[in-house]
Structure 1
Amino acid sequence: MVTHAAAPQPLLSIIVPAWNVQNFIAACLESVLDQMGPRHELIVIDDGSRDATLARARALIEARSDMACTVLAQDNQGIAMARNRGLACARGEYIVFVDSDDRLLAGSLAALEQAIDAHHPDVIACDFRVWLPDQEDKSHRVGLRYRPGLLRDQATILNTFFADRQMYVWAKVFKRAVYEQLEAPVFPPGRVFEDMSTLPRLLSQCASLLYLPHAIIDYRQHPDSITKLISETWCMDLAGALPVARGHLERLGVAPSVKTHFDIAAGYFYIGVVKDSYELPRASGRRVRAFIKSVFVESLFGDCASMLAAVQAGQTVSIDREHDARMIRQVERALAGNFVFRARQTASRKIKVWKRLRRTQKAALGL
């Protein structure tokens, strides 16, 4: 473990979980270290990397002895457990997560400090940038739909969150005290959709939210990203996320509008996973669809008819109401086992798999 002496309580704890990212860890940590000051601490958790990630992280930290930095090493337990360990070690009033293949965009820590000093909210919601390093012209900013200013209405906070469907913990900067209100472990171990089950629970504990229209993270897109790997486990992890979030909202007694927005967001994730499942071998795909169907239906507060009625009546926060309505109708067809829907998805996914294989082959040949 590498640890540097720290000041009294920092304002911001920046937590970076890392695993087998030797080609990205330097750029990530430098993007943080270049912005750090006396009100910040950096915690890097190496999750059992088998490459040079840990050595490179230690070398960078050792060269910055004037900063409050810690590098921890643990056996491989997954990103959720790495985040949980970072939380346990953090001393800052607020928590900033940065994934180890991403970058903290310039000016982010200063912008967060100014927002905290002015408003001291329970959570700060930030924009981010989808970053394609090899196709910079396609990189683009993703803005949230919160209105400017300090929000203190729980329904507005949650409804807008579910309408945006940006389930990334690094796009939300929570007070550490908000994390401490949840039962440990905060991030469910071994799950791909750990953000999806955790973020609704965190936001539901917040009495205030400030939207900061500053892009905080360069969200790297690359073929090895976990979100690009379709497997039976990946698909079924959705089933573990929905009931956790739904149960927490139910116990809190959230407003009916929140329940509707949760159902619509769940519908989007459900239909996305159903479509992805057609890339799996036939038996695995069928097994996945049967399993997530039952869990999805049980996790809804209402049904497709009530979702569609709310959308058509203009009672929801929405990016595109027509798109929401189409999604709900697709969910209805998927749940009903509609033959046309299944045939289209089978053909569509086979074409996508073929195109991906062609791209891989061309890349291997240097074409």
Structure 2
Amino acid sequence: MSMHAAAPQPLLSIIVPAWNVQNYIVACLESVLGQMGPRHELIVIDDGSRDATLARVRTLLEACPQLACTVLAQDNQGIAVARNQGLAAARGEYIVFVDSDDRLLAGSLAALEQAIDAHHPDVIACDFRVWLPDQEDKSHRVGLRYPHALLRDQATILNTFFADRQMYVWAKVFKRAVYEQLEAPVFPPGRVFEDVSTLPRLLSQCASLLYLPHPIIDYRQHPASITKLISEKWCLDLAGALLVAREHLERRGVDASVKTHFDIAAGYFFIGVVKDSYELPRASGRRVRAAIKAVFMESLFGDCASMLAAVRAAQTVSVDREHDARMIRQVERALAGSFVFRVRQTASRKIKVWRRLRRNQKAAAVF
């Protein structure tokens, strides 16, 4: 449903998928609406909310008749489907995603406009802020490692992305035409890690990237996110997302350095999921580790030895080469089924679960 009359083609389409966020949606949309002008449109997709989210969205947007705003309502199908719906409705030259519990930081739309007018890149990579509303002193900016210049080298674009490993679609502002180059649906429905499979594919289509050292999003950290529910599906979805990205990069014919950087990033995600899997019941954990090992091996372009050699020869973009080397050695041990590795992870996860429970008990006591 369109709230207001159609305007000329906007430069920026801001897409906000929303589901049961009545406590956050007003602050989110106010952070967007306060920056909007004639070159912008806002599209909100309500994903079957059962609370007051949709009513609050409509009330807020009806108070802004001068702005181009659209509300779409669908049955609950997940954030991937909501994002795809937003893309289908968007008319802007560039796409800005904002999650409904986050905030668009001040000056972001103006900074994006200025960057586009000056350079017109295929994608703009932005910093963001990790936001802890209840512990503001711990909120902090996350900066990317791209050079401060318009990049036209695809290997540099992809290698820096894999070294940073910031897999958030809202931190990258792509031309809508780049999204249209991918087969629909762009975001795989029903997957937890839809960004991990989608961002490498989008970036591989880009001939130019501009790094904008402006924090664009306040990325809200929820207390609940500290106690994320580890499940078999959660683990398997990440492994599957890596394989989708790998297959696309292969088809694009990326060079050897990109393959090495992809493998290292995949190693980080793999070892993280392996460690998390030790929170599952023993039988489930074993089943998951066997499944993700097979998918991970299929996702790699090379092997651990080639990754380690590239890191030690300083042939990679890296935040910390020694840390990269330690991770690769952990991957080797996990793949080999090392008894010592299994014992350490079992003990480590038990300690982490115990600490998490203690934190939750303390938080509950405060309230």
Q: TM-score, normalised by structure 2?
A: 0.98
Deviates more, 1:226-235 or 1:6-15: 226-235
Q: Deviations over 1:324-356 (max 9, x none)?
A: 000000000111111111111111111111121
The residue aligned with 1:231 is 231
Task: Report the CA distance shift for 1:225/1:49 in structure 2 as closer, same or farther (over 3 A).
Answer: farther
Is 1:25–1:53's contact at 8 Å kept on the other side of the alignment? yes
Counterpart residue type for residue 28 of structure 1: C
1:287 aligns with 2:287: yes
What is the CA–CA distance in structure 2 between the aligned matches of 1:51 and 1:281, rounded to whole Å? 34
Structure 2: give runs of 5+ residues left out of the alignment.
none
| Post-superposition CA distance 1:254-300 (Å, at most 9, x none) | 00000000000000000001111111111111111110000001110
Q: Equivalent residue of 2:224, what SS? A: coil
Q: 1:112 is matched with which residue?
A: 112
Distance 2:185 2:207 in 1: 22
Runs (5+) with no aligned partner, structure 1: none
How many angstroms does 1:225 deviate by?
A: 3.7
Paired with 1:326 and 1:226, the residues of 2 have a C-alpha distance of: 25
Q: Which amino acid aligns with 1:305?
A: A
Aligned residues: 367
Which residue matches 2:168?
Answer: 168
Report the AA paired with residue 236 of structure 1: L
1:194-224 alpha-carbon deviations (Å, 9 max, x no partner): 0000001100000000000000000001133
Give the structure 1 partner of residue 260 of structure 2. Answer: 260
Alpha-carbon separation, structure 1, partners of 2:242 and 2:224: 25
Give 1:3 deviation, angstroms: 2.0
Identify the residue that residue 39 of structure 1 maps to in structure 2.
Answer: 39
Q: Deviations over 1:57-88 (max 9, x none)?
A: 11111111111001111001000000000000
Cα deviation, residue 227, structure 1: 8.7
Provide the secondary structure at the position in 2 that maps to 1:360: helix
Q: How much identity, in percent, do the aligned residues show?
A: 89
C-alpha deviations, 1:125-183, integer Å up to 9, x for none? 00000011111111110000000110000101000000000000000000000000000
CA distance, structure 1, for counterparts of residue 136 and residue 228 of structure 2? 19
CA distance in 2: counterparts of 1:70 and 1:331, whole angstroms: 47
Query: What is the match of residue 344 of structure 2?
Result: 344
TM-score by length of 1: 0.98
Q: Is the 8 A contact 1:6 1:67 kept in 2?
A: no
SS at match of 1:150: coil
* Cross-structure match for 1:24: 24
Partner SS for 1:3: coil
Q: Say whether the 8 Å CA contact 1:162–1:265 is kept in structure 2.
A: yes
* DSSP-derived class of the 2:100 partner: coil
CA distance in 1, matches of 2:6, 2:230: 42
Q: Distance in 2 between matches of 1:315 and 1:25?
A: 45
Separation (CA, whole Å) in 2 of partners of 1:227 and 1:362: 14
2:227–2:356 contact (8 Å) kept in structure 1: no
1:98 aligns with 2:105: no
Residues 227, 253 of structure 1: alpha-carbon distance in 2 compared, 3 angstrom cutoff: farther
- Cα deviation for residue 308 of structure 1 reads 0.2
| 281-290 or 99-108: bigger deviation | 281-290
Q: After TM superposition, what 4+ stretches of structure 1 lie above 4 angstroms from structure 2?
A: none
- In structure 2, C-alpha distance between the alignment counterparts of 1:174 and 1:357, rounded to whole Å: 40
> Which residue is equivalent to 1:240?
240
For 1:273 and 1:183, locate their aligned partners in 2 and report how far apart those are by CA, in whole Å: 28
Structure-2 change in CA distance of 1:324 and 1:255 (3 Å): same
Matches within 5 A, 1:297-312: 297-312=297-312
RMSD: 1.1
1:142-291 correspondence to structure 2 within 5 Å: 142-225=142-225, 228-291=228-291
